[in-house]
Amino acid sequence: MNPEAKHIVNELRHKFYTNFAATMNMPVLITGTSYSSNSPIASWMDRRQRLNYINVYAYTAPDEFVPFRPFILRLAINKSAGRVTVTRKGQVCRGMNLMWDFELTVLPKEILDFLPWIVNLVESQDKGSPLLLESPPHSFELNVPEVGLFNNAWTEKAWLLANPTMFPNSSLSS
């Protein structure tokens, strides 16, 4: 990843986590980078005292070898759940939330628009009411598994940027 892309990812991640923590109706811990993690995360305990976390990172980004590679971000909730072991002192934790996970792949200019929607998604999951989910701020494509709820979404623009040969005449691929 080139220095400009690193800076943008760090800035957007910081803004997203800070606003996520301020908007959630429960305490959210934002970790810094360390030798044991690739990037900072935001974590919280749900109503069942299960640890959940969100990670924002570059899915693809330009670098010195491929300077025109698409710049696409991914927001992951509870993916690779064994990675996180952060809890607050004195906080009861019944382990990682392995009951649900979600990934959203977006363009950098779209990620902050999704903040209220992600908070709504997390709160809906915590209440066990996924049907109360609001409409997303940008259209996206859901990849629905054979069993369970949707857990992977790409915004239309991110999908078209990552797969330009699938829709060569689309105005979004430029």
149 CB burial (10 A radius; 0-12, 13-18, 19+): exposed
pLDDT, residue 150, reads: 61
Q: What is the mean pLDDT of the chain?
A: 83
pLDDT digits (tens, 9 = 90+) for 130-171: 666 788 899 887 665 555 556 889 999 999 999 887 655 555
Three-class DSSP category at 99: coil
Strand partners, 127: none
The tokens for 169 are 């005449």
- Residue 29 scores a pLDDT above 90: yes
Domain limits, the chain: 3-173
**Using 50, 70 and 90 to split pLDDT, how confident is the model at 173?**
very low
Residues 51-70, mean pLDDT to the nearest whole number: 95
User: Are 28 and 86 within 8 A, CB to CB?
Assistant: no
Residues 63-92, mean pLDDT to the nearest whole number: 77
Q: How far is residue 160's CA from residue 52's CA, in Å, rounded to a whole number?
A: 30
More confident residue, 143 or 44: 44
- Residue 96 scores a pLDDT above 50: yes
Residues 35-47, mean pLDDT to the nearest whole number: 79
